[in-house]
Structure 1
Amino acid sequence: MHLKRFTDFALRVLIYLALHPQRIISINEIARAFDMSRNHLLKVVNELVASKLVTTYRGKSGGLQLSKLPADINVGHLTRKLEGESPLINCTKPLCPILPACTLNQALDEAQQAFFDQLDRYTLADLIGNQQDRLVNLLAQTGSEANYE
């Protein structure tokens, strides 16, 4: 299974915000930290705001903060929401001639469910774990911590 770039960016945004719980973070800072397109990042942030995971603040010192504690953000739930749970393959368009006897679709459905079940075991806090200082230092090396807007 391959995650959409949108989901990848959403998870990175949440990790970044969780690493800086005492600050309001600008979109530009996150874009620089991960070398992301600011325009694409705006779409991701809008979805996170609509999902009530991120709060935005307007104005010169505005930006973003998590709306929930990292321990309350489930990675599996978020991934399902952003990815959707559509089947990995569509055996009806075009109609596969072996569909009545094939179990490939069932096997892939079970694999997809196992994937989401595994992600359900993790929260945003788990993704950071005891690596908070190391993650912050790695991001600081990208120059994202200095001269942010």
Structure 2
Amino acid sequence: MALNLIKLCVGCDSVEDLEAWIASDLEESRRLGKPVEDYHTTRMTPTRDAELLDGGSLYWVVKGNVQCRQRLLEIRPFVDGEGISRCRLILDPVVIRTQWQPRRAFQGWRYLKAADAPADLGAGGSALMEMPPKLRRELAELGLL
């Protein structure tokens, strides 16, 4: 069974913000002639990489709720220009929306067992995605999503 990561999506107010951020980063990489890949840099390197790369995803907490995920493709530890060990989580740029699941704030990332991860929305969630992000957030805060 795959293992996942969960992380706060700091700076994004909605899944749409995350998607726009990814598109912008990919376009910038193309423009600069760099490898076109989506990644997230983190300070700590996961030790359970084999389990994570066996179908795992990075689940994003947006405004207090898990709302989406991206498949983990690769884990690349590296040392930055200041000599600090870091890790790049290489992600599939396709954002998969999930059922909303409330989460309290935390620092860094955490492991997330597949059994505890929210289900993907799939075709039945299209009506939810047509709602404005602010309305979805308000309904989630009321416990209606």
Asked if these proteins are the same fold (TM beyond 0.5), I'd say: no
Is the helix fraction higher in 1 or 2?
Answer: 1
Asked which structure has the greater RCO (Cα within 8 Å, sep 6+), the reply is 1
Q: What TM-score, normalized by structure 2, do the two folds share?
A: 0.29
Q: What TM-score, normalized by structure 1, do the two folds share?
A: 0.28
Q: Determine which structure has more spread, i.e. the larger CA radius of gyration.
A: 1
Is the strand fraction higher in 1 or 2?
Answer: 2
